[in-house]
Amino acid sequence: MSTTASNDGALETHGESHGLETRGLDPVPHSERTARTRELLPTWVAANISVLLLSMGAGLAVSYGLNFWQALVVGVAAPVVSYGLVGLMGIAGKRGGAPGMALSRAVFGQRGNLLPGALIWIARWGWETINAVTGAYALLTVLNILFGIRSNTFLIIVTLLLFVVTTFVISGLGINAVRRCNRWASYLFAGFSVLVLGHLVVDTDWGKVFGQAAGPTPLMITGVGVIAAGGISWAPSSPDFTRYLPRTASSVAIVRNTVGGAGVVVLPMVLMGAVMAVSTPDLASAADPVSFLGEILPLWIAVPYLLIALVGMLLINAMSMYSAGFTAQTLGFRVPRHWAVSVNAVISLVFGGVLMLVATSFMGSFIAFLSLLAVAFSAWVGVFGADMLRRREYDAGALLDTTRTSAYWYRGGFSPAAVAAWAVGLGTGLLFTTSDWFTGPLASGNPVGEYGLGWVATVVVSFLLYVALPKPALPRTPAPATEEPAPLAV
């Protein structure tokens, strides 16, 4: 194994040692790009094993008044829309062989990339905090059910610490550990789904379920927007999980496996939540949805459910922290990736403790956070996605060169078109966004704001503006040492 230092000072180590992925921002050489597109399926299955989807599905029935068939439409449309974008962003990973926020330097410039990078990194703090809290709730509920141990401040801190440390270990080890865990989590989720399905088939009043009147169509659109908002947050991370694919990998397969992996989880979880809400409407507004479900389910299914919840949250957080390590490196943290991960681990531990000990409405905080999170990520998606239409290759040396000699320095380290499109798109999205925490001045009285589609406005505005603005000429990209066929088009 060899070690080098990039121009920005971040250590980049090559190769693997005892299963530890030591590669950082540097693009993966063609000789190591041996992954298969089918490996993306369990990756995106694991990224969605969140019991919060059950509560969100319940919210469709209780808060929005949607019936079973409308919930079905929402459960199909949300992952197709959001993970379709995630899959498209993943194509850049096989083109450049580098993490998403490293490739982003080619779009925004070496200094310009610090703006969306910092916002995305901060937004991940909240995402990882929500996941840590959910996982800790699951562990606390299992301890209560099996051993009668009641939650208290000390136990909350201990369970959060155990969760965050385990997450740090998995994400710190790198892509191979994440893949192995994701594969087994997919099997566990399949078994859990069978258990819950059997329980629902026997105990549900299906006449009441199918007898529900249809809710307003605008609220169905809102449901799609809210659930899709969670998926869009994975878009900047998508290249992180495709950079080990060869350049000859099928772009269509990347998108198909990304959408398919997410869909096989989102759809059944949303539907199960909607069905369960018919008899237990409090599921939609429970302050602690994890322990609430542990109480209403029979013991033989509650314990497996809670363990799956714990595993799912661990892996979602591990994937998020894995990507956050790369983002931290692009911001100038001059440490190896697995140590950069520790910064987010500490932050999620602190914020998680505050949320569990102080917050009174977990689901309300979660939905409000999703609305703002989606806008933060969507501004980047619009600009980066538009740039992908004209860029097929990335200069590996220029990505790591953060000095004025970099081909991606542009004007003073900024790409004016990309930064302007990002800023205007972000501002526009916030104008049309409504949540418990923040309501934009244009959020009321129009379909975009009323339907919770502020993040869609962000993508559209940033995309179109970047396409229209004059952009720096694409630098001449050196030919790779081993020439390979051009990538397949979507």
> How many C-beta atoms lie closer than 10 Å to residue 190's C-beta?
11
User: What tokens appear for 100 in the block?
Assistant: 């998403």
Residue 399 covered by a domain: yes
Stretch 425-454: mean pLDDT = 80
Kindly give, in sequence order, each residue whose CB lies less than 8 Å from that of residue 472, ignoring residues fewer than 6 positions away: 410, 411, 415, 417
Residue 416 has pLDDT above 80, yes or no: yes
Residue 12's pLDDT is what?
Answer: 38
Under the banding of pLDDT at 50, 70 and 90, the label for residue 338 is low
Residue 360's pLDDT is what?
Answer: 53
Stretch 127-149: mean pLDDT = 82
Domain range enclosing 186: 28-466
Residue 358's pLDDT is what?
Answer: 64
Residue 413 covered by a domain: yes
> Does 293 or 264 have the greater pLDDT score?
264
Residue 108's pLDDT is what?
Answer: 97
Residue 185 has pLDDT above 90, yes or no: no
Identity of the residue numbered 106: A
In the chain, what percentage of residues exceed pLDDT 70? 87
β-bridge partners, 165: none
User: What tokens appear for 159 in the block?
Assistant: 């369970």
Stretch 338-366: mean pLDDT = 70
For residue 386, how many C-alpha atoms fall within 13 Å in the half-sphere facing its CB?
25
Residue 489 covered by a domain: no
- Which range in 46-55, 81-90, 182-191, 336-345 is most confidently predicted, on average pLDDT? 81-90
CA distance 364 to 362: 6
Range name among 182-196, 238-252, 285-299, 414-428 with the lowest pLDDT average = 285-299
Identity of the residue numbered 159: T
Stretch 232-255: mean pLDDT = 95
β-bridge partners, 414: 411
Range name among 289-293, 341-345, 353-357, 480-484 with the lowest pLDDT average = 480-484
Residue 15 covered by a domain: no
- Which range in 4-8, 28-32, 424-428 is most confidently predicted, on average pLDDT? 424-428
β-bridge partners, 13: 3
CA angle 447, 451, 453 (to 5 degrees): 95
Nearest alpha-carbon partner for 271 in 125, 76, 19, 441: 76
Q: What three-state secondary structure class fits 409?
A: coil
> How many C-beta atoms lie closer than 10 Å to residue 145's C-beta?
17
> Does 437 or 163 have the greater pLDDT score?
163
Residue 15 has pLDDT above 50, yes or no: no
CA distance 20 to 172: 8
> Does 52 or 255 have the greater pLDDT score?
255
Residue 335 covered by a domain: yes
Interval 381-412: pLDDT, tens: 999 999 999 998 999 999 999 999 999 999 99
For residue 380, how many C-alpha atoms fall within 13 Å in the half-sphere facing its CB?
31
Under the banding of pLDDT at 50, 70 and 90, the label for residue 486 is very low
Kindly give, in sequence order, each residue whose CB lies less than 8 Å from that of residue 394, ignoring residues fewer than 6 positions away: 27, 92, 95, 96, 97, 98, 103, 106, 477
CATH number of the domain at 372, please.
Answer: 1.10.4160.10
Residue 8 has pLDDT above 50, yes or no: no
Residue 490's pLDDT is what?
Answer: 33
96's enclosing H/E stretch is helix 68-96
Residue 359 has pLDDT above 70, yes or no: no
Residue 357 has pLDDT above 70, yes or no: no
Cα dihedral 17→19→24→26 (10° resolution) = 80
Interval 269-296: pLDDT, tens: 899 889 988 888 887 776 666 767 777 7
Under the banding of pLDDT at 50, 70 and 90, the label for residue 216 is very high
Identity of the residue numbered 189: F
Q: Per the structure, how many domains does the chain have?
A: 1
What is each CA distance from 50 to 44, 135, 189, 247, 460, in whole angstroms?
12, 9, 10, 32, 28
Contact 83, 263 (CB under 8 A): yes
CA distance 171 to 166: 9
Residue 1's pLDDT is what?
Answer: 38
Residue 227 has pLDDT above 80, yes or no: yes
Residue 188's pLDDT is what?
Answer: 78
Query: Counting Cβ atoms within 10 Å, is residue 477 exposed (0-12), middle (13-18) or buried (19+)?
Result: middle
In the chain, what percentage of residues exceed pLDDT 90? 37
Contact 318, 220 (CB under 8 A): no
Identity of the residue numbered 44: W
Q: What is the mean pLDDT of the chain?
A: 83
Q: What three-state secondary structure class fits 12?
A: strand
CA distance 105 to 396: 11
pTM score of the predicted model: 0.85
Residue 487's pLDDT is what?
Answer: 39
Stretch 458-474: mean pLDDT = 94
Range name among 4-13, 317-326, 443-452 with the lowest pLDDT average = 4-13
21's enclosing H/E stretch is strand 20-21
Residue 16's pLDDT is what?
Answer: 42
Residue 217 has pLDDT above 70, yes or no: yes
Interval 47-105: pLDDT, tens: 888 878 888 898 899 989 999 999 999 999 999 999 999 999 999 999 999 999 999 99
User: What tokens appear for 466 in the block?
Assistant: 């970047």
Nearest alpha-carbon partner for 177 in 34, 307, 17: 17
Kindly give, in sequence order, each residue whose CB lies less than 8 Å from that of residue 206, ignoring residues fewer than 6 positions away: none
Under the banding of pLDDT at 50, 70 and 90, the label for residue 449 is low
Residue 482's pLDDT is what?
Answer: 39
CA angle 199, 200, 205 (to 5 degrees): 130
Residue 480 covered by a domain: no
Residue 301 covered by a domain: yes
CA distance 102 to 99: 5
Residue 322 covered by a domain: yes
Stretch 168-185: mean pLDDT = 82
Residue 437 has pLDDT above 80, yes or no: no
